[in-house]
Amino acid sequence: MIQKYVFGDPIRTEAVVSRIGEGDSLRYFAVEETEDGRLIFSRALSDHDVLYGLGETVRGINKRGWIYVSDCTDETSHTEEKRSLYGAHNFLIVDGADRFGVFVDAAQKVTFDCGYTDPGRLTVTVEEGGCVLYLIENSGLREIVREFRAAIGRSYIPPKWGFGYGQSRWGYVKEEDIREVVRRHRDRGVGLDSVYLDIDYMERFKDFTVDGDRFPDFADFVREMKEEHIHLVPIIDAGVKIEKGYPVYEEGVENGYFCKNEDGTDYVAGVWPGRVHFPDVLNPPARKWFGRWYRVLLEQGIEGFWNDMNEPAMFYSGKHLREAEEELRGLNLDDMDVWGFFHLKDIVMGIANRPEDYASFYHRIDGRMVRHDRVHNIYGTGMTRAAAEAFEELSPDRRILLFSRASSVGMHRYGGVWMGDNQSWWSHILLNLQMLPALNMCGFLYTGADLGGFGSNATEDLLLRWLELGIFTPLMRNHAALGTRRQEFFQFGREEDFRSMIGLRYALLPYLYSEFMKAALTNDMMFLPLSFVYPEDPFAPKVEDQLMVGESMMIAPIYRQNASGRYVYLPERMKMYRLRSRDSMDEEVLEAGHHYVDAALNEVLIFIRPDHIVPMAAEGGVFAEQVDSENLRLLHFAEKRAVYDLYDDDGVSRDVTLEGHLRRIVVER
Ligand code: MIG
């Protein structure tokens, strides 16, 4: 059962799409309204309560013991003391003597103090403006998620090629850079479906332009790549460059489609293009207008996009830059003591992503001017929605790949998310794993991290181990920052191992696509904590580094350098496969309980549940379309009779249902 409770007069976020009845008196939480208009919901936590959810956040699967702030932020260092990343995913499950889900539907900042201030209390604080609280009660954890997901609507479904391997790097600037990447993969028989275009493809970082020196005939280049079965995926940034004669700028100004200052003039911020205006994607006509601009690239053959900097990130604001200059002038540079120096540092470090700046510009919503901080967390959603709604018109028959950096619940209907600027750190493999089920709970099924890590320098073993998790994630993309060590597979020596590992992704594609689609079409999760599948198992909630992937299997990736094995917990008897490639593997049945299992650097472990099947494509395939899901090899643990319903479709149609797309596979012993 799901019920809602309205507090104040909140902004409509459109996160929830089904009609939900109002409950009479709020259960599970005490509510308090502060004098300055904030709402505080709180309850005691018992020692055994476990908290799940909150989507894209740092730390573990169990969210207890930290404070998380939904406040979409361009955070470049995902260390464990951080409270906010790019998403605002306000859904939490409390599992203990009481078991329920709570969704805080609000567009402004929300703080989840999950036992940080007081280990025995959960306190949720909603900034001024009101909210709608949804409480979900159901028989089990997975059922709570399903009921919540039904209320927020079906998750975004990408084209099937979006499940292929993607290579990206900030620093591929011209045609030849991309050709070379493609050639290296194709020559070596390493799977590849997409190459990403980062900001350098644009003319002076202007959205919807292509630099004519670097790409003399872009449409032709897109065609050339398609002949190789490669999809180019350009980045789109939120800020629109202020430049006379640039039509996106001119049209936006003319029609009043940009965010405003209090006095009605267009708000100025600084990002990659220099001075920009932000399109007011929360205002429907402006949203429609911005979305239609994607047409320019669609017409040149592009079928996928990633939306960046849409928190929106600000290097500086026009107004504050002047203030900072004044402050700097006021410093005594000739005789600077240490405090003066710290002050200088604070001035400079405080210029980007300033809370005061977010509270100083406005959107037009339902005819009213609404200050940005009141709706900050749905801005990225507005941008991605702009694109998705335009695609429905511009590409009615074919799915378009789309994922975003900033997001809130509701955006899951329009696109996926990538996990942002992680680092080439071993701990970020684990973080990648821990975010997956939490994102699934909030509707984000199409997701993945920058494999190999975005910032810092990758090593060969890190990339290989990371791929051993990445082969399971719907978005499987190797991406890195400008200036870091190059980390395409061909930069390293173990070519055979990389080919085999990426080949395994293509081999597993029939199962992974099937599980993704079933999860999307039934509002289910694809990645689950063990406790969601084994609710009676007292040890399952303690497992923070293994996941169930779909209905048949469990994964236990290695995320420590120089480890050649790991401890694994089996909630039941399972068959372990140690996979080196599609054709090289060994298998062993393990009893329920704790085990130490070996896995060399080129080996990935999967564990199949009793009477379950993981269908694999028997033959090769170096791009998704080439994977033959008719000719299967079955990895299975049939003790009596194992059944699997394999979902498949053409990979592009928008209209999809389970009916007519399932094929039953049976293995009898
Ligand atoms: O300020 O476009 O998260 O994936 O490579 C950095 C350059 C802007 C941030 C994205 C990252 C991308 C980078 N962008």
Asked whether 360 and 119 are in contact (CB, 8 A), the reply is no
Q: State both tokens at 99.
A: 């078991």
CATH hierarchy code of domain 511-668: 2.60.40.4040
Q: Which residues of the chain have pLDDT under 50?
A: none
Q: Tell me, rounded to whole angstroms, the distance of Cα 454 from its chain centroid.
A: 14
Q: How far apart are CA 514 and CA 534, in angstroms?
A: 22
Q: What pLDDT is stored for residue 620 in this prediction?
A: 86
Q: How far apart are CA 188 and CA 191, in angstroms?
A: 9
Point out the ligand 1 atom lying closest to the alpha carbon of residue 237: 2
Q: What's the gap in Å between 258 CA and the centre of ligand 1?
A: 23
Q: What's the gap in Å between 269 CA and the centre of ligand 1?
A: 17
User: 């900042």: which residue's tokens?
Assistant: 109
- Percentages helix, strand, coil for the chain, rounded to the nearest 5? 30, 25, 45
Q: How far apart are CA 641 and CA 623, in angstroms?
A: 33
Range list of H helices, 614-659: none
Q: State both tokens at 502.
A: 């990426």
Q: What's the gap in Å between 308 CA and the centre of ligand 1?
A: 7
Decide: pTM greater than 0.95: yes
Q: How far apart are CA 498 and CA 460, in angstroms?
A: 10
Ligand 1 pocket: which of 73, 167, 170 to mutate (most atoms <8 Å of CB)? 170
Point out the ligand 1 atom lying closest to the alpha carbon of residue 421: 3
User: 């709608």: which residue's tokens?
Assistant: 132
Asked whether 102 and 146 are in contact (CB, 8 A), the reply is no
Residue nearest to atom 6 of ligand 1 (CA): 309
Ligand 1 pocket: which of 56, 197, 198 to mutate (most atoms <8 Å of CB)? 198
Ligand 1 pocket: which of 308, 405, 422 to mutate (most atoms <8 Å of CB)? 308
Any bridge partners for residue 371, and if so which?
Answer: 362
Q: What's the gap in Å between 444 CA and the centre of ligand 1?
A: 20
Point out the ligand 1 atom lying closest to the alpha carbon of residue 450: 4
Q: How does DSSP classify residue 230?
A: -
The contacts of residue 489 (CB under 8 Å, 6+ apart) are 185, 190, 463, 478, 495, 498, 499, 502
Q: What's the gap in Å between 562 CA and the centre of ligand 1?
A: 30
Q: What's the gap in Å between 76 CA and the centre of ligand 1?
A: 9
Q: How far apart are CA 216 and CA 382, in angstroms?
A: 32
Query: 511-668: same fold as 154-313+352-417?
Result: no
| Rg of the Cα atoms in the chain | 25
Q: How far apart are CA 588 and CA 608, in angstroms?
A: 10
Asked whether 266 and 260 are in contact (CB, 8 A), the reply is yes
Q: How far apart are CA 651 and CA 647, in angstroms?
A: 11
Helix (H), strand (E) at residue 296? helix 295-298
Q: What's the gap in Å between 92 CA and the centre of ligand 1?
A: 29
Q: Tell me, rounded to whole angstroms, the distance of Cα 436 from its chain centroid.
A: 8
Q: What's the gap in Å between 135 CA and the centre of ligand 1?
A: 36
Ligand 1 pocket: which of 56, 272, 309 to mutate (most atoms <8 Å of CB)? 309
Q: State both tokens at 120.
A: 């025995």
Coil, strand or helix at 276: strand
2-152 has which fold?
Answer: Immunoglobulin-like (2.60.40)
Asked whether 215 and 247 are in contact (CB, 8 A), the reply is no
Q: Tell me, rounded to whole angstroms, the distance of Cα 102 from its chain centroid.
A: 21
- CATH superfamily, region 154-313+352-417: Glycosidases (3.20.20.80)
CA atoms within 13 A on the CB side of 256: 12
Q: What's the gap in Å between 171 CA and the centre of ligand 1?
A: 11
Q: State both tokens at 498.
A: 């990389």
Sign of CA dihedral 574, 577, 582, 585: negative
Q: How does DSSP classify residue 203?
A: S
Point out the ligand 1 atom lying closest to the alpha carbon of residue 482: 5
User: 């480890």: which residue's tokens?
Assistant: 563
Q: What is the bridge-based pairing of β-strands 165-167 and 476-478?
A: parallel
Residue extents of the structural domains in the chain:
2-152, 154-313+352-417, 316-350, 511-668
Task: Give the pocket of ligand 1 (CB within 6 Å).
Answer: 170, 198-199, 235, 308-309, 405, 420-421, 479
Asked whether 469 and 433 are in contact (CB, 8 A), the reply is yes
How far CA 489 is from CA of 76, 148, 283, 461, 499, in Å, comes to: 24, 40, 44, 11, 9
Q: What pLDDT is stored for residue 46 in this prediction?
A: 96
Asked whether 480 and 169 are in contact (CB, 8 A), the reply is yes
Annotate 178-201 with DSSP letters as a single string.
HHHHHHHHHHTT----EEEE-GGG
Asked whether 503 and 581 are in contact (CB, 8 A), the reply is yes
Q: What's the gap in Å between 204 CA and the centre of ligand 1?
A: 15
Q: State both tokens at 541.
A: 């909630």
Residue nearest to atom 8 of ligand 1 (CA): 309
Q: What's the gap in Å between 170 CA and the centre of ligand 1?
A: 7
Point out the ligand 1 atom lying closest to the alpha carbon of residue 272: 1
Q: How many CB atoms lie within 10 A of CB 602?
A: 18
Point out the ligand 1 atom lying closest to the alpha carbon of residue 198: 2
Q: How far apart are CA 187 and CA 182, in angstroms?
A: 8
Coil, strand or helix at 558: coil
Q: What's the gap in Å between 74 CA and the centre of ligand 1?
A: 10
Please tell me the total number of residues recorded for the chain in this structure: 669
Residue nearest to atom 11 of ligand 1 (CA): 421
